[in-house]
Amino acid sequence: MKEYFYLFKIHHWIKNFTIFLPVLVSHSFLTSNFSEYIIYFLIISFLSSIIYFLNNLNDFEEDIKNKKLHYSLNLDKKKIYYSVCIISFLALITFTYFINQNILFVCLFYFLLSLSYNFYLKKKKYLDILILSLFHLLRIIYGSIAFEVSLSTYFILFCSAVFLMIGSNKRLVEIDKSYANRPYRKKDKRKIKLMQLFFSFFVVFIFFLYSIDSSKDQFFIYKELFFLNLLIIILIIFNFIFIQKNKNQDIVIFIYKNKVNFILVTAFFIIFIGNSVSFYN
């Protein structure tokens, strides 16, 4: 059972909680019932697990050289594995069609982009980082469509910069670990570090611009508290870039294990939600 947990990367489902961010930032806390939240979360999670399985299947021979795997695959049964994935995908897409046809297109694009990435685009320098960030951004778009909330320009720019920062970090970790099936080498590390620092600065810059934009004041009780959120954002980024670097952790492991990050993120959302006017209506 443990093998399937890692093979389908169930522990990576934590990334899919980002589909709820549009609900939080649009201050639409009670627009959907709990069952809708569960259904939409499971749809994107099952879809991502199918994609993870295909990726693990495609990269298995290289991955066993790069890292310790917690699962095994019989490559003689490759056709069977692919058949199971196709059937599972078609069943999920059919179910999604009857739930919400609007998110169906996002799911299809997510799946097709994933196939392109797994078999081709991940070998393209720097473009692969952009695609990685796009996967995260598609989760945000999925959530906005599923829960019928609009996304502001500030939020899209902020999230894009965060995801590009995370994508850069993923490649830095792989360079340090000398992954064989990646297009990057040690000489690329400085460029990617500079990219990551630029994106982290852009994250803070966008949040600062939103903090001083008076149009947001109608949504919050105390506008001064927003600068405390800004400080927490800076601390989260500092912790992520400079402290976790010593451990060369993947972002998912970092989220699960870094206690400072957990405290800071929790504090951010408590202040953000607690300061929201709509939370008390």
Q: What is the pLDDT of residues 92-139, one digit of tens each?
A: 999 999 999 999 999 999 999 998 988 888 888 899 999 999 999 999
Q: Kindly compute the dihedral angle of the four CA atoms of residues 75, 132, 9, 247, in this order, to the nearest 10 degrees.
A: 110
Class level of CATH domain 1-151: mainly alpha
Q: pLDDT, tens digit, for every residue of 184-197?
A: 888 889 999 999 99
Q: What does the domain layout of the chain look like in residue ranges?
A: 1-151, 152-281
Question: Considering the entire predicted model, what is its pTM?
Answer: 0.88
pLDDT at res. 164: 95
Q: pLDDT, tens digit, for every residue of 45-91?
A: 999 999 988 887 776 666 666 666 656 666 777 788 788 888 999 99
Q: How many other CB atoms are found less than 10 A from the CB of residue 280?
A: 7
Average pLDDT over residues 217-244: 88
Q: Which amino acid is at 142?
A: Y
CB 18 within 8 A of CB 143: yes
Task: Compute the distance between CA of residue 118 and CA of residue 141 in angstroms, rounded to an integer.
Answer: 21
- Residue 229 confidence class, pLDDT cut points 50, 70, 90: very high
Which one has a higher pLDDT value, 253 or 111? 111
